[in-house]
Structure 1
Amino acid sequence: MLHESPIIQLGGFSIDLSVIIMLVVTCAIVFGLAFAATRNLSVDNPGKLQNFLEWVVEFVQGLISSTMDLKKGKPFLSLGMTLIMFIFVGNMLGLPFGIVTEFDNVQSAQVFGHDIVPVKEALEQAQATHPGEAAHVGVNWWKSPTADAGVSIGLALMIFVLVHFLGIFRNTKAYFKHYVQPFPFFLPINLIEQFSKLLTHGMRLFGNIFAGEVLISVLLKMTALGVGGMVASVLGLVVWQGFSIFVGSIQAFVFTILTFVYISQSIDTHEEEH
């Protein structure tokens, strides 16, 4: 059975509804955690969520201080906390379960009056290849939003724009000068380096989370191999779920600390010359 994404055409754009849903869910969870943790702040008797939030603050401050002067990096504390919590929660959402719906005819492959494009194409292809045979296409509605390349690259692009905005307006002379160092003919290489940071920043996150969800799908399909496959599937899922929590945490950490590294390089480039 094929598991497609619920993509519809709207205003000339291809919109993946599962990504929209999961982004809303991720934002709601992060906002809910932050709201609950700060609702009843107490110095004498802090709650568990308040202690957790304080730990996140201290952890992010440690990341900032490891890459730049804490006084300069303090304005980016909220950014770091939002990034690490959003990415961690997003990475975890695809682990516990999935929501898949099946379609067996083109007419029913619609949502909000719009055709689900991949399902329609898959069913039409199946009918053309094997006419008269029943075809079923599954649509995956629940997954980690960071398992989508558009989301991961979008997060990286946001940081990319911020980093270069800070470099241009807070460290203008040194920012432009470093593109022609150590020699002017290094300009193309330095430009390529900047765009490669954008790609690696986003694709690293996407690749790790997407690969984890693909492996979970493979393990689930092993249940069709009988009792032995079912036992192997359960054991594999238990091990991989635990490892995926570790990988998801590491990727949230890596994305956030690289953000601070890039910001530091942008605002502190050759600062000794000033």
Structure 2
Amino acid sequence: MLHKSPIIEWHGLHIDLSVILMLVVSCLVVFLLAFIATRNLSVENPGKLQSFMEWVVDFVKGLISSTMDMKKGRPFLSLGLTLIMFIFVSNMLGLPFGIVTEYDHKEAAHIFGKPIISVTEEFDKLQAEQATTGEHEEIEVGVAWWKSPTADAGVSMGLAIMVFLMVHFLGMTRNTKGYFKHYIQPYVFFLPINLIEQFSKLLTHGMRLYGNIFAGEVLISVLLKLTVLGWGGWIASVAGLVVWQGFSIFVGSIQAFVFTILTFVYISQAMETHDEH
């Protein structure tokens, strides 16, 4: 069984505390990397972190220039740097380790004076099942506090929605005529199809990131559970984790790259006329 998220209710809203925690950690890691890399800049003898950040800047510039004219794209350099670093760090956070707390009765599932409703609901569900089947096994519910924030659909779709709104705002303000005209191209009855295309871009932009990272963390959870099978399970678990951790770094890097370059592609499409594409 997958671990539950620590969800509490606050003024009618269901808040996932693990997502908030991991978003704060991701932001702090990105900020510290940028701060340390730029603290002692040197032209003659740059440090390793400064050299790495310079490579990231050049890499993002390459992404921009591959999708639009660099004069138009230069203002989006900081956006690209923020996106690729934040998403990469977020994708990596769930790989090294996890923090899980176990609850054996729902009265203990409280934090900040509020019940963890995901745990209490699971206890009620399992107790109802036991009452139906007549079983009386001890119930334990695990809560995962440390995970990749991009493994949460709300975070990934939130990033996609922010990009979606920014892209269409840029299209309406910087390429007004061309932006609205493309919805009725090549013919006016293509309007519904073009509208569906825009919302499909939103869904695929966010869900691609979420699906890949979430699937990776599910597989890690499955591999960890192999340890209950004895020494053979331990060996299979360790071997599987080593292989999958390495592959997950590759997948996390690719997903950060894909999300960022698609952002620039959508910006380019919104800001340029049909003839410039």
The TM-score normalised by the length of structure 2 is 0.96
Asked whether 1:206 is paired with 2:210, we answer: yes
Counterpart-to-counterpart distance in 2, 1:269 and 1:14: 43
Matched, 1:249 2:253: yes
Aligned: 1:154 with 2:158:
yes
1:174 to 153, 169, 178: 178
RMSD of the TM alignment (CA)?
Answer: 1.2
Q: Which runs of 5 or more structure 1 residues have no equivalent in the other structure?
A: none
CA–CA distance in structure 2, aligned partners of residues 13 and 38 of structure 1: 39
2:193 maps to 189
| Structure 1 residue 31 displacement after superposition | 0.2
1:180-218 deviation digits (Å, cap 9, x = unpaired): 000000000000000000000000000000000000000
- Give deviations 1:243-263, integer Å, cap 9, x for gaps: 000000000000000000000
Q: Could you tell me how far apart the structure 1 residues matched to 2:237 and 2:185 are?
A: 54
Find the aligned partners of 2:34 and 2:77 in 1 and give their Cα distance: 14
> Secondary structure of 2:3's partner?
strand
Give the equivalent residue in structure 1 for 2:65: 65
- Shift of residue 130, structure 1, vs aligned partner: 2.2
Contact 1:222 1:229 in 2 (8 A): yes
Within 5 Å, give how 1:1-274 maps onto structure 2: 2-130=2-130, 132-270=136-274
Indicate if the aligned counterparts of 2:91 and 2:213 stay in contact, CA closer than 8 A: yes
Amino acid at match of 1:215: L
> How far 1:270 sits from its partner (Å)?
2.2
- Distance in 2, Cα, partners of 1:32 & 1:53: 12
Cα distance in 1, alignment partners of residues 79 and 49 from structure 2 = 19
Q: Distance in 1 between matches of 2:2 and 2:64?
A: 44
Q: Which runs of 5+ in 2 are unaligned?
A: none
TM-superposition CA deviations, 1:133-184 (whole Å, max 9, x none): 4211000000000000000000000100000000000000000000000000
Deviates more, 1:126-135 or 1:259-268: 126-135
Deviations 1:34-91 (A, max 9, x none): 0001111111111111111100100000000000001110000000000000000000
Deviates further, 117-126 or 62-71: 117-126
Give 1:107 deviation, angstroms.
1.1
Q: Mean alpha-carbon deviation: is it higher for 99-108 or for 146-155?
A: 99-108
* Secondary structure at the counterpart of residue 15 of structure 2: strand
